[in-house]
A and B are shown apart, each in its own frame.
Chain A
Amino acid sequence: MADGPATFTTLISAFTTFLTVAIHTILYERSIYPRTSFLSARKYNYAVRQSRHPKVCQWIADAVAAVESELLKGTVGRVAVVIFDQSEKPLERFMFDCSRLPVVPAGEWDTPLVRESKNGERTDILPLVDLEEQLRAAMAKLTVCGTLLRPVPENCSFTVAIELKDEGDAPIGHPQPWVPVSPGLQKSVDKDAERRSRTGEDVGGVKTTPLRNVEAGEMMFEMWIEEGKAKMRGPEKNRNVVELGEGWRSSASS
C-alpha cells in the first residue's frame, strides 16, 4: 500500500489484492488444479497458496484487474468466485459482499479519504495493522473451507463474477470484458418502475456458510460460501441478483 494518506484507489487495491490471494487459495482448497501446482507463500503473515502456472496467474490477474475497474466505479455489490462442474452448473460460489465499500466519484479516486466519526474526529480509512489482522483472519477462515465443504467432483472449472448493485449498469461496451453469466445465476431488475424481477434459480444456492465479516476502517466486506443446487441436489429457491460473468470461463479443467 502506498505511503501517504489512503485514497479510494489504495482501498480498492487492498481489496483486490486480497481477492487475488483468495482466488488462489480457493483454487487450491477446492482442488480445481492439481495441488502440486501450487507454491506455498506468505501473505498477511499467513501461509497461503499460489498457483505457479503462469497462465492461471495471468488469468487471475486479468480478472481481478477487470473487477478492480468495476469496483472503482462503485457499482459492484458482490464479487463471486464461482466453481462449476463439467456441465457448467454452479457448484459453489465464494461470495465477497463489497457493497459497503465507500463509493467515490471518478474524479476523487486519488483524493485522500478520511472517515469522520460521530464526534467529528477523522480516522484513517485503512488502518494497516487492523487490516492485516482482519485479512489474515479471513484468509484463515477461507483455508478451512476445504474441510467445511463437500469435495467437488473432478474437472471443475471456475470463473469470477460480479453482481452489480441494483442501480449499477452492466459494463457493456466495446471492448467487452464482461459477459452475462448463465441465466441460472442472473437476477435482473427491470428498469421500469414496476420492478418486475426475474431471479435465476441458482442464485443464492441452497446452503450458505458464512465465513467472515472483515471490518477495518473502510475496508468492510463480508464473505460467505454458497453451495449450489447442483451440488446438493436439493431443490431450493432464492432470490435475485444481477450478475455478470467474466469474459472467459477459465480453461480450468485439468
Chain B
Amino acid sequence: MGSRLEQKSTLVRKRIEGHTFDDEAGDEYEGSKFGGFPEYFRRKKIKLQNKDAQLRTQSGDKPNIFKGVVCHVNGYTQPSLNDLHTMIVQHGGGFLQYLDGKTMVTHIIASNLTPKKKEEFKRYRIVKPAWIVDSIAAGKLLPWDAYRVVDEGVGQKVLGFDNGNVITQANRKTQGYKEQTDTSWYTSQLKARDVQATSSSTARPRLTFTQTVTPSEEIEDDEYPLPEITSSIERAMEGLDGLDEDDDELPEPVERTEDAPGPEAKLETPPPTSPLPAPADKTLFLPEDAAIKATSPINTPTRQAFRKETVLSPGRAAAAIPPIESPARQETALQPRQGSQEPDYTMSIVKNSEALRSISPSRLANMTAEEHNALLLSDPKIRKSTVVHPDFLEQYYRESRLHHLSTWKADLKAQLQALAAEKSSSQKEKLKVKKLPGQRRYIMHVDFDSFFAAVSLKKHPEYVDKPAVVAHGSGSGSEIASCNYPARAFGVSNGMWMRRAQELCPELKILPYDFPGYEEASRKFYDAIMATGGVVQSVSIDEALVDISQICFAEAATDGVKRAEGGVDREQAVADGIAQKMRDEVLAKTGCAVSVGIGGNILLAKVALRKAKPAGQYQLRPEEVLDFIGKLEVKSLPGVAWSIGGRLEEIGCKLVKDIREMTKEKLINTLGPKTGEKLWDYARGIDRAEVGDQVVRKSVSAEVNWGVRFENQEQVDEFMHGLCGELHKRLTKEKVKGKQLTMKVMRRAGDAPRDPPKHLGHGKCDTYNKSVQLGVATNDKELIVKEAIAMMKSFNISPGELRGIGIQMQKLDTLKAGPDGADLASQRKLFFKRGQPSKPPAERADDTVPEDPIQDDVKTPQKAQRFVDANNRPSVPIPPIAPHTPSKKLLNTLGTQFVLPTQFDPSVLAELPEDIRSKLAKLVKPDSGMEAPPEPAKAAVAGPVKPVQPPSAIVGLPNQSQLDPSILEALPKDVRAEIMGFYNKSPGNRKRGEQALLPQSPRKARTLPTSKQPVKRKRGGGLFAGRARSNMRSGDSSTLTQANFVARPVSRHLQNDDVTTATDTEAEPAAANDTVDPEFLAALPEDVRREVLAQQRNVRLQRAGGIDLSLHQRPRAQRGKKKAAEDEVLLERVIVLPPRPSKPTFTSRKLTELPDLREAMKAWYKEFEDEAPYEEDVLALVKYLRGVVLDERDVGKAVAVLKWVEWLIDEGEARASAKSGWNMALQQMKHGVQSAAEERGLGRLDL
C-alpha cells in the first residue's frame, strides 16, 4: 500500500496509542458553547478515545494482536459495530468512529460497499468483519487480503499462499450480506450455544478456549507424575512395531473423548475471566472427575495413548489441546497423521536419546526452537547426522540415495548422450541436409518396461510373476523406485511409500537396487539402439528417441515425400521391422523387455509408447493420429501434469480433443505463450522438436533438507560456506558461472512438530525463495557465500526453525577460460590477467609460462640484481631468482651429474618423447641409491617445520584442498598419515608458497634482525638464492615431480620424518599443478621442451644433490643448513617483517607527531621572537624536514610544519629585524624541503 496511506494512519495510530485517560477532568468534558460545533465534535472524538483507553486498560491479558491497526467500520456488519469496536480495542487496535479521510485508518471494515464506494475505496484496505473475528480466534493477525471486500476484478488472478507454496487463484466472487447471514458470527454463536448448553455465558467462548490450555496441562502433569508420561520420544521408542499398535490405539482416544467430552472440557472450562457460578459447576463436575479417577486403572492404557497423542508434538500442543474439548476437532487434528503418506519413521536414534527422554513433554513444548535443537544435538549420535557436524555435507551427498540416484543417472545419461551424439552426429549432419519439406518422419521412442524392477528381477527370477518393487529398504518409509507390472496391477505405483504399497499388496516383494546391473543393461540397451543406425537422442538411462526416417526411406526406396505405390506402407513396415528387431535384440542381450512407440514426431512416438506398453510396440499411423490423440486425457500429454492439467480443466479441457476446440489465444492466455502454443500444437499431433535437440542446463543447485538442525547463527553461516562450496564445485564441474543466485529456505511450519515424523527430516515446512542478481556471472565461492549469507539473514528466520536450505545458480554462462577457469572468478577479472593474487603459486606460474617461460626466467633475475635503490632496498636480499637465462641453461647438461630429479610426474613423463624419457628413467635409478646419504636427503628437505633450510628445497605446503587425493592415495600409508598429520597440526597454515623467500621491506638502513628471520636465508647470496627460485619456477612450469614414480625406501621415512614430509608434500603442489605441465610441455616445440627439461634437471641436480654442486655453492648450502638449525624454533610459518626503521625525529625529545611539532615550533618562535633564530636550530629543523620528506615520506607533514612556522611569523609581533631573520630561516627551510621533494621526483611544492 502506498506510503500516503501509511503516513497518515501512522500518525493516527500513534496518537491513539499515546492517548491516556485518567479521569473526567479534561477540558473535553466541559460544556460546549453555542455554535461551537467543531469544538463539540473534537471533544466527542476525544471522549470516544477515552472510552477506548479505558476499554484497553480493562481488557486484561488479551493479546495485542491488532497493535498497529486502526479501523473504521462502514455500514452494517456482523458482528455489529459495537462488538467489533470492543474486539479491536481490547486486542490492542485503534478504532475511529468518524473517518475524516480514508487514509486516517489502516483498514476499513465493511461487509459490502455500494458500487460508488467500491470504486472510491478500491485502493484501500477494505476488510470483512470476519477478519477481526478470525484473527482473534487464531490469536494472531491474519493476512487481511484473504478478507478483501473489493477485489481486483474478475479478470485479475491473485497470488495466494498455501502451505508455503505460492499459487495463483481465481478471484473470489464478491459476496454480500448473504454470506454473512449464513456463516454469520452470530449464527455460529447461536449454534455454539446450542451445542454447549452448559457453556458459560461469556460472549467469546473461543477466547476462553485458548486460555484453558495452560491449566489443562498443569492438571495433567499433576495427575500423572513424570515417570508415567509417555512422550513423543517414548512413543518413538516403540519403533516400527509400535506403529501398528499406534494404529490400534488411535481410534480409542478419539472414542474416549467422544464418550466423555463433558468432564474433560468442564474440568478446564472455568476461565479466569469468566464470571462463572463456580460452586455450582464444581459440584456438578466433581463426581465425574472422581469417577474418572476411580476407573483410572482401567482407563490408564487408553489415557496414556490419548496423552501420547496430545503431547506427540510439542509444537502442536496448542492445537492438540482444544480438541479435547470439542471431539470434532480432535478428529481433524489427528487426520493429517492418519491419512498422510509421510512415513512414520522409526526415529531409531531419537528414541535412544537420553537427553530428549529426560525432558518432560511440557517443558519440551515450551522450549524455543534453538533450545530444542541444542537438546537434540546434545546427543552425539544425532549431532553426527546433522548439519552441525563438519563433514555433514560430504556425508550427505555421499549417502543421500536421491542424490546418488540422480547424479548416477545424470552421469550415465551424460555418458550415453555423448556416445549417441558422437555416433550420430556425422549421420545427422548428412541427414539434415537432405531433409525435404513435407517429408514423413519415423521416430521411435524406446523405453524399458519398469527398468529398475526388470533388471533387479533378473537376479531374483522367482519373483518375476509376483508383484515386486525396487526400493532401498523394506521400511515403511522407503519410497518405491520402480515396480513391475504385476505390482502395478495392485495399484502400486512408482514413488509410492512402502507402507501404502504394502497395504495395497501385502505380499509385495522388495528388491534392492542393483546399480551395476542397471548400468550394464543400460549400456547394452544403447548398443542395440545405436545399432539401428538412426539418430539417437538419449532421454534417460532406460529411454531413448531414435529417428529412423532415413533408414525407412532407404529401405523402402522412397523419398519420404510422395505417396506413390504404397511407399508409405512400405516405410511403415520397415519401421515396425526395425523396432521389432531392436526389441528382440535388447531382450536377448539384457533379458528385459522394451517397448517401442513409433510416430511421425517425438510427441507421437511418446504417445504411441503408452499404448505399446508393456513389452510391445505400436506405430501411430498418420491417419489415426488425430483420433488417437483426441481421446487421450490432457494429462497424458508429455509435459502436462497436474498443474497445467488443472488449469486446463478449469477452462474445460479434459480430453485432448477439447483442446482443439480452444482458440490458440485462449490457451496462451491460460498457460502462457510457450506452453499454450505447444499444447495447441500437441493437440493436433504437431511437435516441432527434433531428435537430437539438446536441452541446455539452466541452473545448478545444491540443496539440503535433511538433518538441518541449527543451534545458532554461526552454525548457519558455517553451513552456508559448505553448501556454497558444494555449489561452487558443481558450477566448476559444469563449467558454468551464474548471474542469479536463488535461495530456497524451508522453515518449520508454525503448526508442525519440532521433531517431524521422519527422523531429522524437514517435516511440514513453509518454503521461502529469494533471488539476487549478481550482475556479473560468477562461480566464485567467496562471493556466493557472501550473497548467500546475506540472503539468509534477510529471511530473518531463527536458526532453530530452519529445516532446509537450497541455493541455486541461474542465468548460466559457460565458462570460457581454460583449465584454470575455475579460478578465474569474479568480475574484476580482465581477460588478459591470468594471475590471481590468491591463486596458489603453481597456478601463477602458469600465467607467465605459457607466454614464454624462458623469457620469464630471464626477466626475474634482473629484478633481483637491480634492487639497488637504497630507499627501497629490502631489509634482506631479494628473493632468489633464477640465473638461468637461456644461454646459461646449456651449462649443466645432463650427462654430467647423476643426481636425480626428485620429482617426476608420471603423466609428464608419459608425454615426453622416448629419448628424453629413457634418460630420465636412467636418472631415477641412481637417485634411489642416493637417498641414503643423509646429506642429500637433508638438502632435499623442505618445509614449514624448519623454515631455514637450503633454499633449494624450500617448499611450502599447499593448501589442503589443493592436494590431489589420487596422489595422496598413491603414497605409502605412513607418508600419507604424516602429511595429513601435518595439516591437522597446523590448520591455519595455508600458505602455499614454495619458496621460503624472504620478505623484504622496502626501507633502507635496516638492521638485519639476528635470528628467527627466515629472511636470513637469502644471505646465501643472490646467486644461490636465485637458483632456488628458479628451481621452483621451473618446477612449477613443467612439473617434474617425484610422485609415486620413485620408490622411496621406507627406512627413509622412519629415519627422518621431516625429510619425508617435506619431500612428499613437495610433490603435492606440483601434482596440483596440472594446469601447466602436461599440456604445456606437450605443446612446446620439441627443442624448447628439451631445453625446459634440461633446465629442470639442472635445477634438481643442484637442489637434490649437494654432491656435484660446484665448489662455491656447497659451502653456502652448509651455511644454510646451519641457519636452519638455529631457526628451528620458528615453527609457525609466518613471514616476519623486520622492524621498520624509526622515523626521523626532531630534537632530543624525539618529536614526530605534527601537533608536537607545532608545539615545539611555537615554543621556539616565542623564545626567539625578538631575535632571529639560531642558524644551528634552523639547520637542524631543515635536516629533520628533509628526513620527513625523504625517509618518512610524508611531504604533507613537512609542508604543514612550514606553514605553521609561516603562520607563526605572520601572526607574531616581532620587530622588523627579527622578522626578516625569521623569514630568511623560513626560506631556508622551504628550500630544504623543496629540494628534498625534488630529490624524490616530486614537482615544486606549493609553499
Residues of A at the B interface (CB closer than 8 Å) are 4-5, 7-9, 12-13, 58, 61-62, 64-66, 68-69, 72, 74-75, 77, 97, 99-118, 122, 125, 165-169, 173-177, 187, 191, 203-213, 215, 218, 220, 222, 224, 226-227, 236, 238-241
* Pick from B833, B838, B1029, B1197: contact of A213, CB under 8 Å: B1197
Evaluate contact between A107 and B1242: CB separation under 8 angstroms.
no
Evaluate contact between A239 and B1238: CB separation under 8 angstroms.
yes
Residue B837 is within 8 A (CB to CB) of chain A in the complex: yes
Evaluate contact between A206 and B1243: CB separation under 8 angstroms.
yes
Residue B925 is within 8 A (CB to CB) of chain A in the complex: no
Chain A, Cβ-Cβ closest to B1234: A208
Residue B841 is within 8 A (CB to CB) of chain A in the complex: yes
* Pick from A122, A204, A206: contact of B1241, CB under 8 Å: A204
Evaluate contact between B1136 and A122: CB separation under 8 angstroms.
yes
Answer whether A208 and B1196 are a contact pair too, CB < 8 Å, given A100-B1003, A114-B1135, A173-B851. no
- The distance in angstroms between the C-alpha atoms of A75 and B879, with both chains bound, is 13
Evaluate contact between B1243 and A107: CB separation under 8 angstroms.
no
Answer whether A111 and B1138 are a contact pair too, CB < 8 Å, given A102-B1001, A167-B868, A241-B1241. no
Instruction: Identify which of residues 822-861 in chain B touch chain A, using a CB-to-CB cut-off of 8 Å.
Output: 827-833, 835, 837-838, 841, 844, 848, 851-852, 855-856, 859
- Chain B nearest CB, measured from A78 CB (Å): 9
Evaluate contact between B1246 and A209: CB separation under 8 angstroms.
yes
- Chain A nearest CB, measured from B1231 CB (Å): 15
- The distance in angstroms between the C-alpha atoms of A230 and B276, with both chains bound, is 97
- The distance in angstroms between the C-alpha atoms of A21 and B1238, with both chains bound, is 28
On chain B, the residues within 8 Å of A66 by CB distance are 830, 833
| Known pairs A107-B993, A224-B1196 / 7 extra A-B pairs, C-beta < 8 Å | A62-B830, A109-B993, A111-B993, A115-B1136, A167-B869, A210-B1245, A213-B1195
7 A-B contact pairs sorted by A residue (CB < 8 Å): A106-B844, A106-B879, A113-B999, A115-B1140, A167-B869, A169-B862, A209-B1245
Instruction: Identify which of residues 767-805 in chain B touch chain A, using a CB-to-CB cut-off of 8 Å.
Output: none
* Pick from B828, B848, B1137, B1241: contact of A62, CB under 8 Å: B828
On chain B, the residues within 8 Å of A75 by CB distance are 863
Contact mask B882-894 → A, CB, 8 Å, 1/0?
Answer: 0000000000000
Answer whether A69 and B869 are a contact pair too, CB < 8 Å, given A108-B999, A204-B1241. no
Evaluate contact between B872 and A165: CB separation under 8 angstroms.
yes
Residue B997 is within 8 A (CB to CB) of chain A in the complex: yes
* Pick from B833, B865, B991, B1192: contact of A111, CB under 8 Å: B991
Contact mask B1223-1247 → A, CB, 8 Å, 1/0?
Answer: 0000000000000011001111110
- The distance in angstroms between the C-alpha atoms of A76 and B12, with both chains bound, is 64
Evaluate contact between A61 and B995: CB separation under 8 angstroms.
no
Answer whether A108 and B848 are a contact pair too, CB < 8 Å, given A103-B999, A114-B1134, A175-B832. no
- The distance in angstroms between the C-alpha atoms of A224 and B1195, with both chains bound, is 8
Evaluate contact between A165 and B995: CB separation under 8 angstroms.
no
Answer whether A208 and B869 are a contact pair too, CB < 8 Å, given A13-B837, A241-B1241. no
Instruction: Identify which of residues 1076-1102 in chain B touch chain A, using a CB-to-CB cut-off of 8 Å.
Output: none
On chain B, the residues within 8 Å of A204 by CB distance are 1238, 1241-1243
Residue B874 is within 8 A (CB to CB) of chain A in the complex: yes
Evaluate contact between B844 and A110: CB separation under 8 angstroms.
no
Residue B381 is within 8 A (CB to CB) of chain A in the complex: no
On chain A, the residues within 8 Å of B866 by CB distance are 166-167, 191
Residue B677 is within 8 A (CB to CB) of chain A in the complex: no
Answer whether A111 and B1133 are a contact pair too, CB < 8 Å, given A177-B832, A191-B866, A210-B1245. yes
Answer whether A168 and B863 are a contact pair too, CB < 8 Å, given A111-B993, A113-B999, A208-B1244. yes
Chain B, Cβ-Cβ closest to A202: B1243
Chain A, Cβ-Cβ closest to B834: A175
Residue B1199 is within 8 A (CB to CB) of chain A in the complex: yes
Evaluate contact between A9 and B992: CB separation under 8 angstroms.
no
Evaluate contact between B1245 and A208: CB separation under 8 angstroms.
yes
- Chain B nearest CB, measured from A234 CB (Å): 9
Residues of B at the A interface (CB closer than 8 Å) are 827-833, 835, 837-838, 841, 844, 848, 851-852, 855-856, 859, 862-863, 865-869, 871-872, 874, 878-879, 956, 988, 990-1003, 1009, 1029, 1032, 1133-1140, 1142, 1192-1199, 1237-1238, 1241-1246
Evaluate contact between B1134 and A208: CB separation under 8 angstroms.
no
Evaluate contact between A177 and B1003: CB separation under 8 angstroms.
no
- The distance in angstroms between the C-alpha atoms of A117 and B841, with both chains bound, is 29
Answer whether A115 and B1002 are a contact pair too, CB < 8 Å, given A100-B1193, A105-B997. no
Answer whether A102 and B828 are a contact pair too, CB < 8 Å, given A111-B991, A204-B1242, A207-B1243. no
On chain B, the residues within 8 Å of A215 by CB distance are 1194
Chain A, Cβ-Cβ closest to B874: A103
Evaluate contact between B828 and A61: CB separation under 8 angstroms.
yes
**Centre residue among A4, A113, A116, A122 by max chain B CB count within 10 A:** A116
- The distance in angstroms between the C-alpha atoms of A107 and B1036, with both chains bound, is 11
On chain B, the residues within 8 Å of A107 by CB distance are 841, 956, 991-997, 1032
- The distance in angstroms between the C-alpha atoms of A233 and B810, with both chains bound, is 56
- The distance in angstroms between the C-alpha atoms of A168 and B402, with both chains bound, is 57
On chain B, the residues within 8 Å of A103 by CB distance are 874, 878, 999-1002
On chain B, the residues within 8 Å of A236 by CB distance are 1243-1244
Evaluate contact between B1244 and A114: CB separation under 8 angstroms.
no
- The distance in angstroms between the C-alpha atoms of A230 and B753, with both chains bound, is 77
On chain B, the residues within 8 Å of A238 by CB distance are 1238, 1241-1244
- The distance in angstroms between the C-alpha atoms of A111 and B869, with both chains bound, is 26
Chain A, Cβ-Cβ closest to B1025: A105
Evaluate contact between B1195 and A208: CB separation under 8 angstroms.
yes
* Pick from A110, A203, A213, A227: contact of B1193, CB under 8 Å: A213
- The distance in angstroms between the C-alpha atoms of A251 and B1243, with both chains bound, is 28
- Chain A nearest CB, measured from B1099 CB (Å): 15
Answer whether A213 and B1135 are a contact pair too, CB < 8 Å, given A105-B995, A107-B992, A116-B1009. no
- Chain A nearest CB, measured from B774 CB (Å): 14
**Centre residue among B856, B868, B1139, B1245 by max chain A CB count within 10 A:** B1139
Evaluate contact between B1241 and A240: CB separation under 8 angstroms.
yes
- The distance in angstroms between the C-alpha atoms of A58 and B831, with both chains bound, is 12
- Chain A nearest CB, measured from B1021 CB (Å): 16
Evaluate contact between A99 and B994: CB separation under 8 angstroms.
no
- The distance in angstroms between the C-alpha atoms of A74 and B63, with both chains bound, is 66
- Chain B nearest CB, measured from A75 CB (Å): 7
Which 10 pairs, one residue from A and one from B, show the smallest C-beta to C-beta distance? A107-B993, A105-B997, A167-B866, A175-B832, A111-B991, A213-B1194, A210-B1196, A105-B879, A205-B1243, A204-B1243
- The distance in angstroms between the C-alpha atoms of A4 and B851, with both chains bound, is 35
On chain A, the residues within 8 Å of B1001 by CB distance are 102-103
- The distance in angstroms between the C-alpha atoms of A12 and B1241, with both chains bound, is 24
- The distance in angstroms between the C-alpha atoms of A83 and B992, with both chains bound, is 40
**Centre residue among A12, A112, A177, A238 by max chain B CB count within 10 A:** A112
- Chain A nearest CB, measured from B289 CB (Å): 63
On chain A, the residues within 8 Å of B1199 by CB distance are 210
On chain B, the residues within 8 Å of A64 by CB distance are 828
Evaluate contact between A125 and B1137: CB separation under 8 angstroms.
yes
Answer whether A99 and B872 are a contact pair too, CB < 8 Å, given A105-B993, A118-B1139, A236-B1243. yes
- The distance in angstroms between the C-alpha atoms of A152 and B1097, with both chains bound, is 59
Chain B, Cβ-Cβ closest to A241: B1241
On chain B, the residues within 8 Å of A166 by CB distance are 866, 868-869, 872
On chain A, the residues within 8 Å of B1244 by CB distance are 206-208, 236, 238
- The distance in angstroms between the C-alpha atoms of A13 and B996, with both chains bound, is 22
**Centre residue among B841, B1000, B1137 by max chain A CB count within 10 A:** B1137
- The distance in angstroms between the C-alpha atoms of A204 and B1136, with both chains bound, is 35
- Chain A nearest CB, measured from B544 CB (Å): 45
Evaluate contact between A174 and B851: CB separation under 8 angstroms.
yes
Answer whether A208 and B991 are a contact pair too, CB < 8 Å, given A13-B837, A68-B837. no
Evaluate contact between A224 and B1137: CB separation under 8 angstroms.
no
- Chain B nearest CB, measured from A2 CB (Å): 8
On chain B, the residues within 8 Å of A191 by CB distance are 862, 866
- The distance in angstroms between the C-alpha atoms of A176 and B834, with both chains bound, is 11
